[in-house]
Structure 1
């Protein structure tokens, strides 16, 4: 059996990133190392984790492409489901998220908006797709 356990985002500052996700989205801190170079958030069944770029570089000797607000986002996104997209977008941007796309309705009825977090990772904020 295989179970999707977590996604790790390589960030500049683990504690700042965790604080952003706690404040903007209401997730709670599960764990952070004494060196503040790795941490987890409680987000439901799957954990969002954060590793410092320094720690990531020690694990990936050939390096990696770093996320940045200066560059376009990677071809991946985190999806957060809510009943009130506009309210959550406003809350996220008040804590430093950058608005990419205002809330808009898709042809199938779903409300969707996009923001980027402090490190430039793309976040979709949307209503549920109860199909």
Structure 2
């Protein structure tokens, strides 16, 4: 694996990628419900013997090595793999794989082209979501627990900005009980930082 510059780690906090967050999901869900009809979904017949599972999120970036270094330095996520030519790199997130590949790879593999991330304009409606494991939510919160969770997300948010992220939204409590913040990485990719929330069964 190609060597990357050394860095200092985030102390006492754990950050992992557990999901990809679609900013427009609520709107899309409402739109789908409004357009719901009696039509049946197409049958999956013919692929029963084929296994399909989520593999990774691919982010097209200007420089794979710099992106790996940013996510390592900002969030403490170590590179899992990077090829010698730095045309492909992966982060060790513990659950889902985030992979980086150069913009020219996109041009070579996607004939129709895609919208490029640009920090000078509003981000597209997809974000990489990181969970901050500074303090787990266990249903109803006392004031001390909420303060600890806010401070944990704030620390990671501040650290990311120090490393080169662009602030989008400072940490705030959401109606569903999660502390959420947003930044953009050096390529303009939207990143969500959120506290853990215990989901009701």
SS of match in other structure, 2:66: helix
- Runs of 4+ in structure 1 deviating by more than 6 angstroms, as ranges, are none
Q: Does 1:72 align with 2:140?
A: no
Task: Structure 2: give runs of 5+ residues left out of the alignment.
Answer: 1-50, 135-151
Q: Does 1:120 align with 2:188?
A: yes
SS of match in other structure, 2:126: coil
Q: CA deviation at 1:67?
A: 0.7
Q: Does 1:86 align with 2:154?
A: yes
SS of match in other structure, 2:198: coil
Separation of aligned partners in 2, 1:16 and 1:7: 18
**What's 2:172 paired with?**
104
SS of match in other structure, 1:68: coil
Higher-strand-fraction structure: 1
Q: CA deviation at 1:112?
A: 0.6
Separation of aligned partners in 1, 2:114 and 2:176: 37
Separation of aligned partners in 1, 2:101 and 2:52: 23
TM-score, normalising length: structure 2:
0.63
Task: Structure 1: give runs of 5+ residues left out of the alignment.
Answer: none
Separation of aligned partners in 2, 1:92 and 1:58: 31
RMSD after superposition: 1.0
